[in-house]
Amino acid sequence: LFCVSQRQMAFRLAIQHAGRQRILDALRLSQEQLLDVKRRMGEEMNRGLAKESHDQATVKMLPTFVRSMPDGTESGDFLALDLGGTNFRVLLVRVRRWKRRSVEMHNKIYAIPQEAMQGTGEELFDHIVHCIADFLEYMGMKGASLPLGFTFSFPCHQSKLDQGILLKWTKGFKATGCEGEDVVTLLKDAIYRKEEFDLDVVALVNDTVGTMMTCGYEDPLCEVGLIVGTGTNVCYMEEMQNMELVDGGEGKMCVNMEWGAFGDHGELDDFSTDFDKAVDEHSANPGKQTYEKMISGMYLGEIVRNVLLEFTTKGLLFRGKLSERLKTRGIFETKFLSQIESDRLALRQVRSILQHLGLTSSTCDDSILVKEVCSVVACRAAQLCGAGLAAVVDKIRQNRNLPELKITVGVDGTLYKLHPHFSNFMHETVRDLAPQCKVTFIQSEDGSGKGAALITAVACRIRDAGQR
């Protein structure tokens, strides 16, 4: 009887293991599938660059009108604004000609209240200007007039460096009266309403462009900027002859890909799981930013939570008993993935997080499975990101008709920087899918702030030279 009981137990455990792996297999991608993602991304990039297909393309390939990198002659004090998530920063950046590759920065971080994110555009930009006024007073520069670079990390159509029409909000922002409007004008109008200071808004910058510029200041081979944090996006230097939306066929211009929307027309449907569909359905922007929702920090925790719900309802986890907290959307924060995977030896960290989620009677086996779920979800995100990046660097290589390309990618974002394995998974994917490209990755030090100031400094240098 004892032997029969053991066999039954082993059989039951084997069935449970197979059931768990079946669920997780939906989140695992083969190299063939990743090559398919790379190919599809390349196709969408070409559609976004072409005038005829641009409007239908999910990857918009927006011109940034950034064409020059710093040459070391820039000098002066510059303000930079950084709006890209729930926090907003104001920075003073001092660039000195005799201190090339060294800039002095001061900054303050301000929260964006939920009511400003989802109220009217006037309320949002009035709040931003209030923060600028507070910062200038904090720096003892009340009423100062300085050149300003505005890092605005949302999809914009630019027809020049100091203008950008907001195409759509992302990352939970819904402020009314902004989409379809020039955000530089909205900022200037709010400054005018404040009646305390005047600023020369020189450049509207995406955070990816700022990241590329900051890293390019250190490494001349840096021609790609990547963000993997709350959201994800890429920019890179494209040949002007391929950019049908901009007149002039010589030289290069930085393109803001806005690749987070890749998949919005079904390009990723055969890689999307029920867990992805559940996250999308309950998001602030259903049907939008498909690629971003499979990769970025704003969504990975919620994907994990949906997987855990599936396991539990099938009796494969937590003895089939759900806690009320685990049923709460957004309760499993993406930072938990980094914490869980950082704890390589003990499972104490996992147990602590599960207790925080109301799962006080979880077992060691439960902790092991939760850790595996986190690993699989993070690995898929990194591989998908790597497949898209492989398409970018391979396009640059083909543009230049090179048998081999050496290039540097500047990277910023908390997911890339803080997750213990994300960067390695992503680097490995790029190596596998773009073997003719020798890619170096360097982390940006405050690309969204310092980069905006550097772009502003370059624009002022070129403007001043043209006025002489």
| Sign of CA pseudo-dihedral 279, 285, 290, 293 | negative
What are the backbone dihedrals phi and psi of residue 139, each rounded to the nearest 5 degrees, phi first?
A: -85, 0
Catalytic residue among 82, 162, 182, 207: 207
| Residue with tokens 């790597």, as numbered in its chain | 386
Catalytic residue among 20, 47, 89, 397: 89
Catalytic residue among 40, 47, 153, 461: 153
Residue 129, SS3?
helix
Which helix or strand (DSSP H or E) is residue 222 part of?
Answer: strand 222-228
31-33-34 Cα angle (round to 5): 65
User: Side-chain half-sphere of 2: how many Cα atoms within 13 Å?
Assistant: 0
Residue 261, SS3?
helix
Distance of CA 342 to the CA centre of its chain: 22
Query: What are 385's two structure tokens?
Result: 């990101």
* Residues whose CB falls within 8 Å of the CB of residue 392, separated by 6 or more in sequence, listed in order: 41, 45, 224, 234, 236, 257
Query: What are 209's two structure tokens?
Result: 């462009």
Instruction: Dump the DSSP string for 236-265.
Output: EEEEGGG-TTSS--SSEEEEE--GGGTTTT
Within 96-155, residue ranges assigned H as helices are 114-117, 121-138
| Residue with tokens 């993935």, as numbered in its chain | 337
Q: CB count, 10 Å around CB of 467? A: 6
* Residues whose CB falls within 8 Å of the CB of residue 424, separated by 6 or more in sequence, listed in order: 382
Residue 283 designated active-site: no
Residue 7 designated active-site: no
Residue 55 designated active-site: no
Active site residues: 89, 153, 207
